[in-house]
Amino acid sequence: MSDPVNSTILLIDIERYSDRDDVEQAYLRRMLFDLTDRTLLAAGIEETSRRRADRGDSVMELIDANASLTALLRTLLTFVPAQLRGMNRMAAASAQMRLRAVVASGYVTVEGGGGWVGSDLNHACRLLDATVLRQALRERKTDFALCVAEPVYRGVVRHDHTGVPADEFHAVTLDSKNGPLPAWIHGPVPRSTAQPGSTGAGAPAPVSTDHATRSVSEALTPAPRTTFDLGGATVNGGVVGGDNHGIGGGTFHGDIHLGG
């Protein structure tokens, strides 16, 4: 087993691939591979700087960590949507292609038989299959949805480089068998999957715990007792003598006249 190598991980998947027949699937695979090649070249990434794994309805690329991650993200956000729009305009409905993509980074081991091993790669695959990313693509009019792993956001996206606008990425947290998995989706978080704490559309407003605690405390604090010295109050002629306690806790001294 070889040593793990730090790499950029690019995963791209075709939506509803299994719904197509064999002829359509073969066509879509060719289109996916061609688009991926042109995208990486447009980002300045040569074939000698990457490895490819064919996963049927998806493609996996291990890219040399020295290649510009910023250029790759910029190309994914601009070049890919434009290419898909042009391709799908000229294609029959059964041949149109919509894509989900994930960009991650980490250490991956490439075994002699071509297998890839690494927890960072596993996390990237979970992001690609996540419901929130699938739903994001379904809700959009565009044909592309991108998700980046937390290290990619921290290292590149949050710095707001030209062509990679940080304010267009929104935080999500995915449940996985290894615990919560943070990530960032480009564009709004789908309403049906928006989570507390996310910054996407549909996320609930944060609750101030200080305000909530203060409100409960005020509700449980008894009203102050107030003493009134009325001397001798008369209401319609009746009299109530001595000290009298009001409903709100106040004490009335003297006679109170009630009734006729």
Please report the pLDDT score of residue 255 as a whole number: 52
Question: Which residues of the chain are in CATH 3.30.70.1230 domains?
Answer: 5-209
Any idea which residue has 């073969």 for tokens? 26
pLDDT in tens, the chain (260 residues): 688 999 999 999 999 999 999 999 999 999 999 999 999 999 999 999 999 988 778 999 999 999 999 999 999 999 999 999 999 998 898 899 999 999 999 999 988 776 888 999 999 999 999 999 999 999 999 999 999 999 999 999 999 999 999 999 999 998 777 778 899 999 999 876 655 444 443 333 333 333 333 333 343 344 444 444 444 444 444 444 555 555 445 554 555 444 44
Beta bridge mates, 8: 63, 105
Q: How many residues does the chain have?
A: 260
Q: Which option is the CATH number for 5-209: 3.30.70.1230, 1.20.120.1760, 1.25.50.10, 3.40.640.10?
A: 3.30.70.1230
246-250 contacts, C-beta under 8 A, 24 or more apart: 248/223, 249/222, 249/223, 249/224, 249/225, 250/225, 250/226
